Chain A
Amino acid sequence: MDRFSWTSGLLELGETLVVQQRGVRLCDGEEKVKFDTGVLLLSTHRLIWRDQKNHECCFAVPLSQIVFIEEQAAGIGKSAKIVVHLHPASSNKEPGPFQSSKYSYIKLSFKEHGEIEFYRRLSEEITQRRWENMPTGQTIQVNKDPQAGRIRAVGIVGIERKLEEKRKETDKNISEAFEDLSKLMEKAKEMVELSKSIANKIKEKQGDITEDETIRFKSYLLSMGIANPVTRETHGSGTHYHMQLAKQLAGILQTPLEERGGIMSLTEVYCLVNRARGLELLSPEDLVNACKMLESLKLPLRLRIFDSGVMVIELQSHNEEEMVASALETVSEKGSLTADEFAKLVGMSVLLAKERLLLAEKMGHLCRDDSVEGLRFYPNLFLTQS
């Protein structure tokens, strides 16, 4: 890390930006240093690092100092890294963040990805050595103003200004966005307070608030994204929206259910419906709340929850208990089956196959053999042959 020199981060005449990546941490050899979140910029001449929190903290090393680079793949809790091996610092190198280092290499840790692209570009620049064709390489050492610590760039002022402006603009946008967000949240907080007070009133005057008003209130809560445990106990989370949704689902799911033997897991339904919609997708909670209303709306589908917690949608005409009988036949034919094998035979998802076999076991038709090789089901001979 002692090969770096402080810089303003502005590009020199003839120097071009190649690629940049946010979220990069630096390590001095194997040791972490305090520069843990920065933007890493690759130009035709240098590798520049600027602290994301403190833009004044910016330093660079010329690409000519690089001996070779290697990649370190990502692991658990570890980001992908590039290891940069460097020549010893020249004696007239400008001061930087470190006076000395016991390592001759640094590591760039890509916490927000981008390592692969950056490595590719860095390799290219090192191979092409474009800095040798452009004279700027020398001027970095010249024209330095020691007091301000800034390097006055030679020539094209417009480029620097634009970069600086863009950075300021981005910063301004973000701070404006945060300010507006905070103001918005203040107003949202008022809404939450108001809804709490109404909810309390409802609790106090149990039964003195009409059905209509309860439904209205619930739809307000839905719009704001406020959960209300009070009405949920007595009236559930459903609203008119969910009722409509339930009816829509009954229409959309009829054919897919028939194609899949009359039963689908809720995750399958979630994917199917949202893939079909493309826009204005359903939230998982929307789906569950709508499905909870299927039965009471007397629609031809129903929600069923297995002991394991797995949730499925079944056609009303579907009778899982009958399917168990045919499952028993299948298992008997083969002697024994695991959920995977059964699923493949019958053409079901493994999840639902397992639920069917478990139900068959619950009903006493199958026995399990639970070993490290997996869960295998056999016909319950204790029942049939006793």
Chain B
Amino acid sequence: MHRRGVGAGAIAKRKLAEAKYKERGTVLAEDQLAQMSKQLDMFKTNLEEFASKHKQEIRKNPEFRVQFQDMCATIGVDPLASGKGFWSEMLGVGDFYYELGVQIIEVCLALKHRNGGLITLEELHQQVLKGRGKFAQDVSQDDLLRAIKKLKVLGNGFGIIPVGGTYLIQSVPAELNMDHTVVLQLAEKKGYVTVSEIRSSLKWETERAKQVLEHLLKEGMAWLDTQAAGEPQYWLPALFTELYAQEITPEEAKEAIP
């Protein structure tokens, strides 16, 4: 009597069938990859054509850049992910933002000892524009924010904190949690904040307010004015431009990048 499906022969047959199935599976992926490769080439041509007509527009027009970035984000594409990407190579968007990244790092480093690593987007914008010189392309605040978002991956603590109608840019790896952020937002109106103001606006206990303020002091992001009338005031040097603007001194610039 023959037994079906059992025995060395059957096992070998099954193995062969599995192998063939695997092969077919690989062939399927191969097909799709080939298709993608072809479509990629076509897309590259389309992009080249677009670039030849509109590359200047992207370079010169900050609003157009915003549109471009938003559209990319909507379809799930990051034109700034790699310098080797098509977008970067053909439209030159990459170089624009990566160089901006370098300039942002240098400005933040040069001013860190003054503001503890916190700077308003406005001041950063002004300093970057100054550094770029009269003949460089115009750079918008939106451009800065996008460049900063990319810099986060370098692990240096770059962060964007919304305050008032604008943003504070953090460039040091200091830990700033929700409590710290909220106090920064409170301080934004006048450039300083007191324990009483925190207690009345945020309804916190004194201890909690003090902890947050001390942390900011330690990080160099806040300065203490004990001679203020009434109670001590905690000032944020990052917000000082409201009161007086300062240039980056040559010494500071030298210390920026060795």
Contacts and interface: CB of A to CB of B under 8 A. Distances in A.
Contacts of B4: none
B87 interface: yes
Nearest to B47: A184
Interface of B: 22, 25-26, 28-30, 32-33, 35-37, 39-40, 42-44, 46-47, 50, 53-54, 57, 61, 64, 67-68, 71-72, 74-89, 94-95, 98-99, 101-102, 105-106, 112-113, 120, 122, 129, 140, 150-157, 163-166, 172-173, 188, 214, 217-218, 220, 224, 239, 241-242, 245, 257-258
A271 B36 contact: no
A127 interface: no
A281 B40 CA distance: 23
Contacts of A224: 40, 43, 77, 85-86
Given A271-B102, A284-B153, 13 more contacts: A76-B163, A174-B64, A188-B72, A209-B29, A267-B156, A270-B102, A270-B105, A282-B83, A285-B81, A286-B84, A310-B157, A340-B113, A351-B172
Interface string A271-315: 110110001111111111000000000000000010011110000
A305 B153 CA distance: 12
A225 B87 contact: yes
A195 to B, nearest CB: 7
A288 B155 CA distance: 9
Interface stretch (A1-9, A101-109, A137-145, A197-205): A197-205
A284 B72 contact: no
Contacts of A173: 57
Top 6 nearest A-B pairs (CB, nearest first) are A77-B165, A311-B155, A281-B98, A189-B75, A267-B156, A225-B78
A223 B37 CA distance: 11
Interface string A147-186: 0000000000000000000000000011011101110110
Nearest to A226: B77
Interface in A336-386: 340, 349-351, 370-372, 374-375
B174 to A, nearest CB: 9
B99 A194 contact: no
A173 B61 CA distance: 12
A213 interface: yes
Contact of B154 (A182, A216, A288): A288
A227 interface: yes
A201 B28 CA distance: 9
Nearest to B151: A284
Nearest to A204: B25
Nearest to A268: B257
Nearest to A311: B155
Contacts of B76: 192, 226-227
Contacts of A184: 46-47, 50
Given A76-B165, A182-B71, A372-B217, A283 B29 contact: no
A191 B43 contact: yes
B39 A194 contact: yes
A280 B95 contact: yes
A333 interface: no
Given A192-B77, A202-B29, A270-B154, A282 B98 contact: yes
Nearest to A288: B153
A281 B83 CA distance: 6
A191 B67 CA distance: 20
B95 A279 contact: yes
Contact of A181 (B54, B214, B217): B54
Contacts of A317: none
Given A77-B165, A275-B102, A209 B26 contact: yes
A126 interface: no
Nearest to B85: A225
Contacts of A260: 258
A266 interface: yes
Contacts of A205: 25, 29
Contact of A283 (B32, B54, B150, B157): B150
B173 A309 contact: yes
A76 B166 contact: yes
B156 A266 contact: yes
B32 A188 contact: no
Nearest to B220: A374
Contact of A213 (B29, B71, B165): B29
A119 interface: no
Contact of B153 (A113, A177, A285): A285
A335 interface: no
